[in-house]
Structure 1
Amino acid sequence: MTKPEEVPTLETINEFLRDDTRVKLAVVDIDGVLRGKIMHKTKFLNIVEEGFGFCSVVHGWDIEDQLYTQEIEFSGKEAPYFDFIAKIDLSSFRRIPWENNVPFFLVSLVHPKTREPLYCCPRTLLESACDDLMNTYGYTAYCGTEFEFFCFKETPEALKEKGFTNLNPLTVGMCGYSILRPTDNQEFYYNAFDWLREFRVDIESWHSETGPGVFEAALAYVDAREAGDRAALFKTSMKQIARKHGFMASFMAKPYQDLPGCSGHTHFSLKDKNGRNVFAIWDKSEESEIPGVSKTMYHFLAGLLRGLPSIMAILAPTVNSYKRLVERFWAPITVSWGIDNRRGAVRIIVPPASSPNGARMEVRVPGSDINAHLVYAAVLKCGYWGIRTSQTMPIGPLSDKVDLDTQSGEKLARTLQEATAAMEAKGSVAREVLGDDFVNHFVKTRRHEWTEWVNAVTDYERKRYMELI
């Protein structure tokens, strides 16, 4: 297991890799997919300080390697497909237990023309959000995500042959928090927990969820930079571990119409330089107009709520994401919040529901299909903006008596197209906090995603129209 004190430096990297012959590297693309390669150790040691070239097409195509339909800097008729400069992040060093302990590093991307961190690199955006909070207020952001995911007794080849229909779930029935079900796949259940701990992607807890073959894993609550890396690594790692045990794990937000979708609920808090949680109230001067909520937490929440409609395309990044955000399934559909209330977009957790150090907010909009780096960055930048500009609350808390189907507050986007338009709009909070360069690029990637959906002929259409229309 790699401990933080065992992270290599330029001076010690040779010793760390003394017995190795190869190294694995990966970047995080705009959809949160890891893109990488195996590199000979000699090559790696030659480029570890200055970086190496990585084809810019990784930010010019979608998850199926199809070039974006709208021309961007990194793809299209006029694009030269130049190389980014990929900089090794030595602090990300890990060994992959299920791949014979091969050494692994994440890289961040630099634009070769400006020599600046790449504006659409997810790791760069999150680092910027963390730096804003630290440099202005001395705050360190902490995050943790709870990922739900379905498992199927399938292979990629079988899925293609079946036309991605009639999938065979790993377990049957609705067995949330079951002690019985995990014993049916006990080797996978415990190997995943232990291997991920060794990989420095610790799971705080995990259990079966309600639905056939569904699990939920809560990742350890750590500083935001590390949390983003761990979330990206967790999804790929769990897919690999599942395949090693003969089945598949899917982080699709809504595989079944008649079952709840897969959430990616994410928790946030801020600590000062003394390690004190500034979302908690330590003396009366810190109390806001909302009992139990500090002034810092109040302004952070206000900024997030005001920015929420314009960052929806990040929190719900796929066409399928919006199938999860519907009434009756404990999924938020409005700009809303409440104290320890799971029915809103944001759940505030403060004493007595937690200890002072445990005070936090849970953003319940994201599904398991998120790019966590981007979600963390977007929420933190909205919160930072809220604190910096002393934003006030746009709406009061949800009543305990509010029905799921009649939530008050501005309706959140119901499609990726609506969410993309809200982000793109002139003067949007997203533009204010994320910057035009990132927003312009991300909007084009989501328009591409929507266009692919609009042009697709589906089973639904054939069933509805082929005979009767």
Structure 2
Amino acid sequence: MNHKEIINHVLKSPNPKVKLAITDIDGVLRGKYINKEKFQSALEGGFGFCSVVFGWDSSDALYNNSSPVAGWHNGYKDHIAEIDLSSYRQVPWDDEVSFFLADFSQSNHQACPRTLLKKIAHQAENMGFQALFSQEFEWFNFKETNQSIYNKPPSELQPLSNGMFGYSLLKLQQNHDYLNDLYNLLLQFNVPLEGLHTETGPGVLEAAIYYTEIIESADRASLFKAATKEIALKHGIMPTFMAKISPDLPGSSGHVHQSLSDGKKNLFFDANETHCMSPLMQSYLAGQMKVLPELLPMIAPTVNSYKRLVEGMWAPTIMNWGIDNRTTTFRVINNSEKAMRIEARAPGADANPYLAMAALLAAGLYGIKHNLSLDTKAIAGNGYQDDNGERLAPNLWQATQKMKTSEIACELLGEEFINHFSATREWEWQEYSKSVSDWEYKRYFEII
């Protein structure tokens, strides 16, 4: 439908309201219902959204160290958000209410993740590229509610299924009501899945979202996480997209697949080159290899993210690449011209899709602009034993300090964004540092 048809469809809908959402710095949807008269007004001049959505953390605690983007100094005034009509959907589990995403691209708001991704995608378009991306998620599911999880320790939470059974048709059948709803309702919500299966771990599922142009891909990924939580509610299930819930189990990934097209063909494929990797693809990958360590908090944004990035747990620890190698940070998939792509394996399920994709695309474009050579060879064996690659920062604080002082990060994403985002990650680390963990109690309570 074109924009006029979308507006008419919304106004003629029997549902009297419209649902709007923006995405905050942590990738959390923040939104509200509005009536149709307000919707029409917002189409003409935007609508006010309190700037506090970029001034508080995921627990609604106000940052006390953030940039001028949001704070008491400006009274947390409203910023004008614009509805993106191209994001139109109806929510099949919510009375088919009309749904739209909004952002702050008209005002170029420095803290808006969707606005940032639009800017990077526009750079790619100006270079003649269409960025085609997709994201896949692993996540744990529990037979719990948001009330029950506060009455028991994590070790007593009841998983959706027991045991370690990846790719299990039996486990799919045992939970078919939930999984059928998930697959079918997401499709109706225009978040189509390529596949859905069980992964190794109690109650773990993995979903691959169908690839498309990068803005729509990030929309789908962001909405997938929010929709999964809402659909699970009616089945008495609570999903979690934490990167790591147990030291004994693999973490939950959020791998990002990426390629560039000219609108007709895959520009990453060249049958005459080694591994069929075109020179353009090699420069793109070289840019990511060079820049990503300085943008790591954008794909590993929480304290918990770095507990997933450990050796032997299906997550990378060293900046390297390989052909169909799941121990490296970048896995090149070269099965065919159509399938030729790069899988970035560092992002976890906790990453904000808009920021993860913005970082990856910006880094790749940097490599193309500077005609970087892919100097490192593909890792053929165990990527964890690579002595030549740069090790990823071991925690959020160190990763943030590297990004905060990076000239390349400021060049690619803007100094205002880097200052604000770095401040939010420092806040996250400081809040973590004030906490007292169960590990500390068990280790020190009696003995010390």
Partner-residue secondary structure (3-state), 1:181 = helix
1:421 to 392, 401, 404: 401
User: 2:109 corresponds to which residue?
Assistant: 118
Q: Deviations over 1:423-458 (max 9, x none)?
A: 01142x322211211111110010010001001111
Equivalence for 1:344 = 328
Aligned to 1:280: 269
Task: Name the amino acid aligned to 1:130.
Answer: A
Looking at structure 1, the residues matched to 369 and 3 of structure 2 have their Cα atoms a distance apart, in angstroms, of: 37
Shift of 1:157: 0.8
Matches of 1:246 and 1:314, distance apart in 2: 32
**Contact 1:28-1:122 at 8 Å conserved across structures:** yes
Equivalent-residue separation in structure 2 for 1:222 and 1:15 (angstroms):
24
What number of residue pairs does the alignment pair up? 447
What displacement does 1:460 show? 1.1
Judge conservation of contact 1:267–1:361 (CA < 8 Å) in 2: yes
- After superposition, residues 279-298 of structure 1 pair within 5 angstroms as 279-281=268-270, 284=272, 287=273, 290-298=274-282
> Which residue does the alignment assign to 1:268?
258
When residues 59 and 403 of structure 1 are mapped into structure 2, their CA distance, relative to the original with a 3 A threshold, is: closer
The offset of 1:79, in angstroms, is: 3.1
Give runs of aligned pairs for residues 3-18 of structure 1, distance below 5 A.
Answer: 6-9=1-4, 13-18=7-12
Q: What is the match of residue 196 of structure 1?
A: 186
> What is the CA deviation profile of residues 234-271 of structure 1, one whole-angstrom value per residue up to 9, with x for unaligned ones?
00000111111111011000011100000111100000
Question: Matched residue of 1:106: which SS?
Answer: strand
Instruction: Check the 8 A contact 1:74/1:81 in 2, yes or no.
Output: no
- 1:187 corresponds to which residue? 177
Please name the residue that 1:375 is paired with: 356
Find the counterpart in structure 2 of residue 299 from structure 1.
Answer: 283
For the pair 1:441 / 2:430, whether they are aligned, the reply is no
**Contact 2:318 2:386 survives alignment (8 Å):** no
Q: Distance in 2 between matches of 1:310 and 1:166?
A: 38
Unaligned runs of 5+ in 1: 1-5
Q: Which residue of 2 aligns with 1:3?
A: none
Alpha-carbon deviation of 1:405?
Answer: 4.7
Output the TM-score relative to the length of structure 1. Answer: 0.92
User: Where does structure 2 lack aligned partners over 5 or more consecutive residues?
Assistant: none
- Give me the whole-angstrom Cα distance separating, in 2, the residues matched to 1:371 and 1:339: 26
Looking at structure 2, the residues matched to 243 and 461 of structure 1 have their Cα atoms a distance apart, in angstroms, of: 34
Mapped contact 1:60–1:72 kept (Cα < 8 A): no
Partner SS state of residue 98, structure 1:
coil
DSSP-derived class of the 2:73 partner: coil
CA distance in 1, matches of 2:386, 2:218: 34
Preserved contact between residue 318 and residue 384 of structure 2 (Cα < 8 Å)? no
Cα RMSD over matched residues?
Answer: 1.5
Residue 381 of structure 1 aligns with an amino acid whose one-letter code is A
* 1:174 maps to amino acid: M
Q: What secondary structure, in the 3-state scheme, does the structure 2 residue paired with 1:396 have?
A: coil
- 402-411 or 83-92, larger mean C-alpha shift: 402-411
Match of residue 85 from structure 1? 80
Residue 466 of structure 1 corresponds to which residue in structure 2? 445
Structure 2: distance between partners of 1:302 and 1:311? 15
Letter in 1 for 2:103: S
After superposition, residues 63-462 of structure 1 pair within 5 angstroms as 63-109=58-104, 116-136=107-127, 138-273=128-263, 275-281=264-270, 284=272, 287=273, 290-350=274-334, 354-400=335-381, 402=382, 404-405=384-385, 408-427=388-407, 429-462=408-441
Distance 1:70 1:230 in 2: 32
Deviations 1:351-406 (A, max 9, x none): xxx21121100000011001011111110011111101111225322132x36355
Amino acid at match of 1:415: N
- The C-alpha deviation readout for 1:325-363, integer Å capped at 9, x for no partner, is 00111210011001121110001112xxx2112110000
Checking the alignment, whether the CA contact within 8 Å between 1:280 and 1:293 is kept in structure 2 is yes
Mapped pair 1:54 → 2:43? no
Question: Aligned partners of 2:74, 2:90: CA distance in 1, in Å?
Answer: 36
In the TM superposition, structure 1's runs of 4+ consecutive aligned residues that sit over 6 Å from their partners are none
The answer (yes or no) to whether the contact 1:14–1:45 under 8 Å persists in 2 is no
Instruction: Describe the SS at the equivalent of 2:390.
Output: coil
Write the deviation string for residues 32-60 of structure 1: whole angstroms up to 9, x where unpaired: 10000000112111222211110000000
